[in-house]
């Protein structure tokens, strides 16, 4: 490993100024992704700006509009087990706890979770081309081993998936990401935060250079009545999603008045289909309608060989998770999975 500098930021402005000092300076939060990338020689910062001591990033607080603000520096575990998150935003709590391991969730921060990079094997191997790591070099995943790769929103240049669980729930909840940078503070709606690869697969999100994520706002509506997070993976724990689904409903009897369905493990960003959600609104909450919604969500899905199975798996997962959201008691710890 190369020598590197290390500074602790004392407040948000200080962090932004310090990180802008050179091209090869990087924020470090929990370090659970950054250090991995460094060990694999995918990144090589000359200086780290430690943001773990910023009080402004370390709280969870209620907002005047009834929502909840999650500090970017709050650990994933502290967020998942926060009493207001557990009671009012159980979908988010479930999604965070489906990710990684207890040790990693104790280190990982909310801001870092949004910025974790893909787990594409080719991205992690500096000996092979990868348009995300080295723009213009090619994408061996398209014709290579691509079991974990994307089926939606892919481009000629990249078929990597964004691996977060937490972000799938944040997408369904319509969260907002607050950032501060050299040009001041701004708020980014969650659906505009992550990007599809297009012809710039090196960009994962729409954060501008040297911007610091300060917090994530959850709207007042938490969907604590009907929600479910389903993660399908090769091992029951400590594995990234092949397909995951976050579903929430507001029901008027058996009629759906508000539906949210977000998918993880299938695209370069958490995947939502507003067409499918609108289709469900005003309809009966039935398996038949969930299957029709799944077809709308997966419209245009395309496999690359090894990952063809994901299209069928995603359809089944969507239907099953919608049914589970009708019986949120199946989400409680120790509950049996829905039939």
Ligand X SMILES: Cc1cc2nc3c(=O)[nH]c(=O)nc-3n(C[C@H](O)[C@H](O)[C@H](O)COP(=O)(O)OP(=O)(O)OC[C@H]3O[C@@H](n4cnc5c(N)ncnc54)[C@H](O)[C@@H]3O)c2cc1C
Binding site for ligand X (CB under 6 A): 26-34, 36, 51, 72, 76, 99-100, 104, 107-109, 111-113, 115-116, 163-166, 212-213, 240
Q: Which is nearer to ligand X, 231 or 272 (CB)?
A: 231
Q: Which is nearer to ligand X, 178 or 228 (CB)?
A: 178
In this structure, how many other beta carbons lie within 10 angstroms of the beta carbon of residue 51?
Answer: 27
Give the separation between CA 29 and CA 325, rounded to whole angstroms. 34
For ligand X, the nearest residue by Cβ is: 112
Shortest Å, Cβ 209 to ligand X = 11
Q: Which is nearer to ligand X, 226 or 331 (CB)?
A: 331
Shortest Å, Cβ 104 to ligand X = 5
Contact 324, 246 (CB under 8 A): no
Shortest Å, Cβ 30 to ligand X = 3
Give the separation between CA 189 and CA 186, rounded to whole angstroms. 10
Q: Which is nearer to ligand X, 157 or 164 (CB)?
A: 164
Shortest Å, Cβ 11 to ligand X = 13
Q: Which is nearer to ligand X, 31 or 138 (CB)?
A: 31
Structure tokens at 188: 């980014």
Shortest Å, Cβ 57 to ligand X = 6
Contact 291, 315 (CB under 8 A): yes
């Amino acid at each position: 490993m190369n020598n590197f500098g290390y500074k602790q930021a004392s407040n948000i402005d200080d962090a932004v100024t310090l990180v802008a000092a050179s091209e090869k300076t990087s924020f470090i939060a929990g370090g659970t992704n950054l250090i991995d990338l460094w060990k694999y020689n995918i990144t090589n910062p000359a200086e780290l700006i430690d943001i773990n001591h910023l009080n402004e990033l370390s709280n969870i607080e209620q907002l005047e509009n009834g929502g909840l603000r999650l500090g970017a520096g709050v650990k994933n575990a502290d967020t998942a087990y926060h009493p207001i998150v557990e009671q009012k935003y159980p979908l988010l709590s479930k999604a965070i706890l489906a990710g990684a391991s207890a040790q990693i969730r104790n280190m990982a921060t909310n801001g870092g979770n949004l910025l974790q990079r893909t787990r594409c094997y080719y991205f992690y191997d500096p000996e092979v081309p990868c348009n995300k790591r080295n723009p213009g070099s090619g994408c061996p995943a398209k014709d290579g081993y691509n079991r974990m790769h994307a089926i939606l929103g892919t481009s000629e240049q990249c078929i990597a998936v964004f691996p977060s669980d937490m972000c799938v729930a944040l997408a369904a909840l319509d969260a907002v990401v607050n950032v501060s940078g050299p040009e001041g503070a701004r708020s980014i709606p969650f659906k505009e935060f992550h990007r599809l690869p297009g012809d710039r697969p090196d960009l994962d999100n729409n954060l501008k250079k040297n911007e610091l994520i300060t917090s994530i706002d959850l709207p007042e509506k938490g969907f604590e009545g009907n929600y479910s997070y389903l993660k399908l993976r090769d091992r029951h724990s400590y594995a990234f999603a092949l397909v995951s689904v976050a579903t929430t409903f507001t029901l008027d009897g058996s009629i759906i008045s508000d539906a949210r369905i977000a998918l993880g493990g299938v695209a370069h960003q958490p995947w939502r289909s507003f067409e499918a959600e609108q289709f469900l609104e005003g309809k009966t909450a039935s398996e038949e309608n969930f299957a029709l919604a799944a077809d709308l969500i997966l419209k245009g899905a395309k496999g690359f060989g090894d990952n063809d199975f994901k299209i069928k798996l995603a359809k089944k997962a969507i239907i099953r998770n919608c049914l589970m959201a009708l019986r949120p008691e199946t989400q409680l710890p120790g509950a049996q999975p829905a039939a």
